[in-house]
Amino acid sequence: MSTSHVIIGDGIAGSSAAETIREADPDADVTVITDEGEALYNRILIKEFAKGKLPEAPISIHEPEWYDERDIDLQLNTHVTGVDTDAHEVHTHTGDVYEYDKLLVATGGTPAQLPVDNADADGVHHFWTFQDARNIKEHAEQTDQGIIVGAGLLGLDLAAICGAQEIDAHYLMRGNRWWRYALSLDGAEILHDAMREKGVEPVFESGVDRFEVDDEGHVEAAVDPDGNRYEGDWAGVAIGLDFNTEFLEDTPVETDDGIVVDEYMRTGVEDVYAAGDITQFYDVILGERAQNGAWGSAKEQGSVAGTNMVADSDAEVDGSVEEEEEFRWVSTYSVTHFDFPFLSFGHPTLGDEDAERKYGEREWRRLAFKDGKLIGGVLIGDLSQQSKFKKLIREERPVADQKEMLLEQDVDMDELTEATAAQAE
Ligand SMILES: Cc1cc2nc3c(=O)[nH]c(=O)nc-3n(C[C@H](O)[C@H](O)[C@H](O)COP(=O)(O)OP(=O)(O)OC[C@H]3O[C@@H](n4cnc5c(N)ncnc54)[C@H](O)[C@@H]3O)c2cc1C
């Protein structure tokens, strides 16, 4: 009898799991359920579309035929409302029920709304789907004054969209700099200058107390906690994600700002797996639970989950002992909006020590360490050392005592190996 795999979510995690399952088990029944109206597209590129730099076509990754050719049942526009883990059933908003042997939850997150008046007013945009990008672009082409809220990577995308669409914008930030959890003021200043060059003015120690709307309910200004008023009829808000776990509320699946899984993408409930942004996974390199919000990581988690779903079902059917696959990954996230490159890797917002250096007007590096090991960092201007740093993270080498060496523009790995060996003696 064929195994029935049901996947909720057709983002990169869900889609990569479906592909992996099909390759590993040609006889399996594979169903992918998504509440979006289109099959997998490149979420990373929708910002380029919103900037007006890319047409729609290259953003799509899979046409529905891709699923047909692989005999994968794709259900579009279908919202999952509940799961019964005892009966092994998935329930949808249309009342349909899908039975599963193995279930993968790859539902990612939904942008959080600001808890302020008029946060959902017409003209206030959140950015996650291709449809959001179409709305953002259409509106951006008709306006010349905007407001941006949320001092993280997605907020930076909104700033770049304003720059490309020639919108003068105020970027309201709560602290004294952009992405304060990963960058010092020295590093952030490089980004602030780049924003200003694009007509986006960062405003520090600010935020939104409320949005003001016109008679038709369209946003016309944001007022910060000090009462300063910033006009704009286009607003972009990116303050984080609410993870899509509501449909698991009546199940024993453990959730904690996402779904808790081990390094094999297994939840604590038999036959239920999770992958992608939604997971609070056990990071074998870090030695603790972590969360990644990056495309490459979601793709790899989907593939690991798919491999293990097939291996586990084979083991149940014929008692075979197949190699289970572990998620062991150093995540990266690169930004290409400016005339200098920017890359964050690993877990740059965590750690108990750090080291940083500025090399030039637009060249800067910061490294984060935990328990004596490198765990992440941010590179601005020169990305040439990234593979060395990622290798050091993967190898879990105790290098925190060699900060000077790691801050050399060109890190000498042989010298570093000698120094860490001497230190170990
Ligand atoms: C504008 C933007 C720019 C980005 N840029 C980068 C970048 O440069 N580099 C990088 O590494 N990462 C980037 N990311 C992050 C990256 O896109 C995500 O980490 C990745 O897409 C996560 O994939 P996922 O499959 O886990 O989740 P998602 O892509 O969020 O997919 C989850 C899917 O599940 C569906 N779903 C949710 N709930 C239900 C339900 N109840 N029923 C049915 N379907 C449901 C959702 O509609 C969605 O289609 C960016 C994200 C955005 C939005």
Name, in order, each residue with C-beta under 8 angstroms of 5's C-beta and a sequence gap of 6 or more. 18, 21, 28, 29, 30, 31, 100, 101, 102, 103, 104, 309, 310
Q: Do 229 and 277 lie in a common domain?
A: no
Closest CA to 107 of 240, 9, 7, 6: 9
How many CB atoms sit inside 10 A of residue 141's CB? 11
The residue whose two tokens read 């083991």 is: 315
pLDDT at 361: 96
The residue that leads in pLDDT, 324 or 267, is: 267
Residue 23 covered by a domain = yes
Last residue of a domain, one of 237, 258, 288: 237
Q: Cα of 271 to ligand 1 centre, how many Å?
A: 23
Q: Do 151 and 183 lie in a common domain?
A: yes
Asked whether residue 385 carries a pLDDT value surpassing 90, the answer given is yes
Confidence class for position 317, pLDDT limits 50, 70, 90: confident
Q: What is the pLDDT of residues 167-176, one digit of tens each?
A: 999 999 999 9
Helices (H), 240-377: 295-318
Q: How large a percentage of the chain has pLDDT more than 90?
A: 94
Q: How large a percentage of the chain has pLDDT more than 70?
A: 100
Counting ligand 1 atoms within 8 A of each CB, the residue from 19, 54, 295 with the most, and so the one to mutate, is 295
Asked whether residue 373 carries a pLDDT value surpassing 80, the answer given is yes
Residue 264 covered by a domain = yes
Residue 42 covered by a domain = yes
Tell me the DSSP string of 71-137.
Answer: TEEEE-S--EEEEETTTTEEEETTS-EEE-SEEEE---EEEPPPSSBTTT-BTEEE--SHHHHHHHH
Element (H, E) at 242: strand 241-243
Counting ligand 1 atoms within 8 A of each CB, the residue from 78, 107, 127 with the most, and so the one to mutate, is 107
Atom of ligand 1 nearest to the CA of 33: 43
Closest CA to 133 of 230, 15, 40, 42: 42
Asked whether residue 98 carries a pLDDT value surpassing 90, the answer given is yes
Q: Do 72 and 153 lie in a common domain?
A: no
Asked whether residue 20 carries a pLDDT value surpassing 80, the answer given is yes
Residue 30 covered by a domain = yes
Regarding the beta carbon of 41 and ligand 1, being less than 6 Å apart is answered no
Q: Cα of 210 to ligand 1 centre, how many Å?
A: 28
Q: Do 179 and 245 lie in a common domain?
A: no
Distance CA 128, CA 125 (A): 10
Residue 354 covered by a domain = yes
Q: Do the bridges between strand 200-203 and strand 168-172 make them parallel or antiparallel, or are there none, so unpaired?
A: parallel
Q: What is the pLDDT of residues 172-195, one digit of tens each?
A: 999 999 999 999 999 999 999 999
Q: Do 301 and 185 lie in a common domain?
A: no
Asked whether residue 319 carries a pLDDT value surpassing 80, the answer given is no
Asked whether residue 413 carries a pLDDT value surpassing 90, the answer given is yes
pLDDT at 57: 77
Atom of ligand 1 nearest to the CA of 14: 25
Atom of ligand 1 nearest to the CA of 107: 34
Answer yes or no: are the C-beta atoms of 261 and 279 closer than 8 Å.
yes
Residue 328 covered by a domain = no
Counting ligand 1 atoms within 8 A of each CB, the residue from 43, 104, 136 with the most, and so the one to mutate, is 43
Nearest CA to ligand 1 atom 27: 108
Confidence class for position 315, pLDDT limits 50, 70, 90: confident
Q: Look at 107-111, 264-268, 300-304, 419-423 and tell me which has the smallest mean pLDDT.
A: 419-423
Rounded mean pLDDT of the chain? 96
Q: Which domain holds residue 388?
A: 339-424
Last residue of a domain, one of 202, 237, 272: 237
- Please state the separation of Cα 4 from the chain's center in Å: 28
Q: Do 100 and 56 lie in a common domain?
A: yes
Q: Cα of 316 to ligand 1 centre, how many Å?
A: 32
Q: Do 226 and 132 lie in a common domain?
A: yes
Closest CA to 87 of 211, 250, 246: 250
Q: Which two tokens stand for residue 29?
A: 């029944």
Asked whether residue 321 carries a pLDDT value surpassing 80, the answer given is no
Asked whether residue 38 carries a pLDDT value surpassing 90, the answer given is yes
Q: Do 73 and 135 lie in a common domain?
A: no
- For residue 349, the one-letter residue type is T
Regarding the beta carbon of 255 and ligand 1, being less than 6 Å apart is answered no
Mean pLDDT value of segment 152-161: 98
Q: Look at 55-64, 384-393, 408-417 and tell me which has the smallest mean pLDDT.
A: 55-64
Nearest CA to ligand 1 atom 8: 44
Q: Do 230 and 245 lie in a common domain?
A: no
Q: Do 117 and 101 lie in a common domain?
A: no
pLDDT at 341: 98
Distance CA 73, CA 29 (A): 8
Q: Do the bridges between strand 342-346 and strand 353-360 make them parallel or antiparallel, or are there none, so unpaired?
A: unpaired
Regarding the beta carbon of 157 and ligand 1, being less than 6 Å apart is answered yes
Regarding the beta carbon of 294 and ligand 1, being less than 6 Å apart is answered yes
pLDDT at 424: 76
Nearest CA to ligand 1 atom 50: 44
Q: Is 422 helix (H, G, I), strand (E, B) or coil?
A: helix
Q: Do 229 and 126 lie in a common domain?
A: yes
Regarding the beta carbon of 75 and ligand 1, being less than 6 Å apart is answered no
Q: What is the pLDDT of residues 232-270, one digit of tens each?
A: 999 999 999 999 999 999 999 999 999 999 999 999 999
Confidence class for position 21, pLDDT limits 50, 70, 90: very high
Nearest CA to ligand 1 atom 30: 108
CA-CA-CA-CA torsion for 145, 151, 154, 155, nearest 10 degrees?
Answer: 0
Regarding the beta carbon of 48 and ligand 1, being less than 6 Å apart is answered no
pLDDT at 422: 85
Regarding the beta carbon of 403 and ligand 1, being less than 6 Å apart is answered no
Atom of ligand 1 nearest to the CA of 244: 38
Regarding the beta carbon of 300 and ligand 1, being less than 6 Å apart is answered no
Q: Do the bridges between strand 109-111 and strand 241-243 make them parallel or antiparallel, or are there none, so unpaired?
A: antiparallel
Regarding the beta carbon of 35 and ligand 1, being less than 6 Å apart is answered yes
Element (H, E) at 392: helix 386-395
Confidence class for position 43, pLDDT limits 50, 70, 90: very high
Q: Do 282 and 207 lie in a common domain?
A: no
Mean pLDDT value of segment 51-80: 93
Q: How many domains does the chain have?
A: 3
Atom of ligand 1 nearest to the CA of 336: 8
pLDDT at 149: 98
Regarding the beta carbon of 36 and ligand 1, being less than 6 Å apart is answered yes
pLDDT at 1: 75
Atom of ligand 1 nearest to the CA of 293: 19
Confidence class for position 58, pLDDT limits 50, 70, 90: confident
Q: Return the CATH number at 147.
A: 3.50.50.60
Residue 331 covered by a domain = no
